[in-house]
Amino acid sequence: MQLIFSVFKTLTDQTVTVELKNDLSITGVLKSVDQFLNIRLDNIKVSDENRHPHMMAVKNCFIRGSVVRYVQLPAEHVDTQLLEDATRRGVFCIRGSPSGC
């Protein structure tokens, strides 16, 4: 169950866009993630500020994993071959993750 957690850890300090189940989309720098896939974002920007004006003053946030629908990932920082191999082998952590293996 740790595979996806490891993927997110390797994406620390990259810019991602998190889309929530209430349709709110937040772009920011991924600062940290935990085993529940809770996410901390810095320098955030809400995609549709007109619809969510109360979010304009918010600079960083903690997102509970369970409210996430999608996370758009920076494709250039995702090694798809490595992911497929790790998934096939049922390996639950991947090289380059801070936890090591």
- Reference 26, options 15, 17, 36; nearest CA is 17
Contact letters (x/-) for another protein, 21-60, by CB under 8 A?
A: x---------------x-----------------------
Does 72 interact with another protein (rule: CB under 8 A)?
A: yes
Does 86 interact with another protein (rule: CB under 8 A)?
A: yes
Does 75 interact with another protein (rule: CB under 8 A)?
A: yes
Interface residue with another protein among 78, 96, 99, 101 (CB under 8 A) is 78
Interface residue with another protein among 27, 32, 40, 65 (CB under 8 A) is 65
Beta bridge partners of 25: 19
Residue 71 dihedral angles phi and psi, to the nearest 5° = -130, 120
Q: Which amino acid is it at 35?
A: Q
Structural contact between residues 46 and 55, judged by C-beta atoms closer than 8 angstroms: yes
Does 1 interact with another protein (rule: CB under 8 A)?
A: yes
Which residues make Cβ contacts (< 8 Å) with residue 67, sequence separation at least 6?
20, 21, 22
Least distance between another protein and beta carbon 57 (Å)? 27
